[in-house]
A and B are shown apart, each in its own frame.
Chain A
Amino acid sequence: MKTDFDTIIVGGGLVGAAVACGIASRGTSVAIVDGEDGDFRASRGNFGLVWVQGKGAKHAPYAQWSGNAAKLWPSFESKLRDTTGINIGFQQNGGFDFCLSEQEWQVRSEEMRSVAQHTQAVFEYSMLKHTELKQKIPQISDDVIGASFSPQDGHLNPLYLLRALHQLFVLLNGAYRPRQRVVSVQPDGDGFILRSGSTRYTAGQVVLCAGLDNQRLAKELDMDIPVHPIRGQLLITERLKPFLRYPCLQIRQTQEGTLQIGDSHEDVGLDEGTTLDVITALATRAVRIFPHLKNVKLNRAWGALRVMTADGIPIYHRSERYPGAFALSCHSGVSLAAAHEKLISGWICGDQSDLLIPEFSVDRFDVSKTQKHIA
């Protein structure tokens, strides 16, 4: 069957655009069919962390995968900069996650130890007590008991990353189709037919990267992709003289000088608004960590919906019934972008498959299959 494209990516957020770049660089014809500006777009409300520490405390492959992705970042960033000329503000000198109580310290220490074990110590970290931490970040208050540190953590400007990916995709002769919300995707012979309003696209392979819409679209291709929204609210301060040289889970200073404050988690359905109580809690915690911020002004705040899978771990799934159909869902579009571009695209193209990838199929949610596994 002659199709419009070899592969169609549904969704042009950070996940879809990264995978699309990887596939396009292999020389096949690829299109991104993207939604509307007003759709829920986690990629446009992102915090911008490249974060490894703490991930996969209960799932060894996720810990390894996150660590591998972080290692791929420096060369990926060079490639983006060389090809597009865009400086995405990438920095990977390690990151901190503060502990404000002895209990937090105990829980964190246990969690870090567990991830390090999972990865046979590929995951590097250290736990810093207050005095040691103060040498790295002198502005912390006495309330900060200590912090976990991983040298693999970093941060970047997620909007510039998204722009760079889109620019690279077009440079690689990818076809970008905006404002084309895919209403249906159906198997057709060896390929697929996608419909968006009056437009119809055909492709040999289809890769669903549609965020919260993945569940709906995947059903049509006989895949059950359990995702739900978890809202995060973010605060943006006025620009400050640089003082914070490391990204922290709750707060980071951008290359432009603003502080971004976040790390709230709320299950409120499809509501991407902001609330005074969460804004107050985020600001209060930031001032508790850094008292000198008490007179700093907030310029704006926003809410965004994380694409959370049922167990918080990425889903990379290939349909058993329609082998040309894939569904990718995760809430770490920044952290994992380099792995998506290189490894997930290789898997989809059938070039080479990273051994970890099968661990992320939805079979892990299937009781009959996991029982077989245990047995």
Chain B
Amino acid sequence: MFQRLKNTSPELVELNLDGQPVSVPTGISVAAALLYLDAKPIRRTAVSDSPRAPYCMMGVCFDCLIEIDGQPNLQACQVNVARGMQIRRQNAAYDSEAM
């Protein structure tokens, strides 16, 4: 669905999604990487258990929440990808009592 702009860097960085190694372009946000990988849905909501994907890409909608390096519910659009990063989709509703 999403394509990269033509004049961007061809360099890739390796990270980990749900335990699987994946390669994504350098210098993009985790939210952009998830869309690049077509990794939808990235989570399920806390109350209605409905599927979600990154939406606003600018930090206001809180739809792109994801676990990064063991920390749940981070805004994927506010974090840039880094080598070796461990990303986990939150496909069960986030349960504060289970933390």
Residues of chain A having any CB pair with chain B under 8 Å: 139, 238-243, 255-257, 292-293, 295-297, 299
Contacts and interface: CB of A to CB of B under 8 A. Distances in A.
Nearest to B73: A238
B47 A256 contact: yes
Determine the main DSSP class of A at the interface with B: loop
Given A243-B96, A292-B99, A295-B99, A238 B65 contact: yes
15 contacts: A238-B62, A238-B73, A239-B45, A239-B94, A240-B46, A240-B94, A240-B95, A242-B46, A257-B45, A257-B46, A292-B96, A292-B97, A292-B99, A295-B99, A299-B62
Given A240-B95, A292-B96, A295-B99, 15 more contacts: A139-B97, A239-B45, A240-B46, A240-B94, A240-B96, A241-B93, A241-B96, A242-B46, A243-B96, A256-B47, A257-B45, A292-B97, A296-B96, A297-B73, A299-B62
Given A139-B97, A292-B99, A295-B96, A241 B73 contact: no
Contacts of A297: 73
A299 B74 CA distance: 11
A283 to B, nearest CB: 14
A242 B47 contact: yes
Contacts of B95: 240-241
Nearest to B93: A241
Contacts of B65: 238
Nearest to B95: A241
A14 B65 CA distance: 34
Interface string B35-72: 00000000001110000000000000010010000000
Range, interface on chain B: 10 to 19
B70 to A, nearest CB: 11
Contact of A257 (B47, B97, B99): B47
A139 B97 CA distance: 8
Contact of B96 (A255, A256, A293, A299): A293
Contact of A255 (B47, B73, B94, B97): B47
Contacts of B97: 139, 241, 243, 292
A63 B41 CA distance: 51
A241 B94 contact: yes
Most buried by B among A239, A293, A297: A239
A244 to B, nearest CB: 10
Contacts of A256: 47
A299 B97 CA distance: 18
A241 B47 contact: yes
A287 to B, nearest CB: 11
A342 to B, nearest CB: 32
Nearest to B72: A295
Nearest to A294: B99
A239 B99 contact: no
A299 B46 CA distance: 15
Interface string B73-99: 100000000000000000001111101
B46 A241 contact: yes
A296 B99 CA distance: 9
Most buried by B among A255, A297, A299: A297
A255 B45 CA distance: 13
B56 to A, nearest CB: 14
A139 B95 CA distance: 13
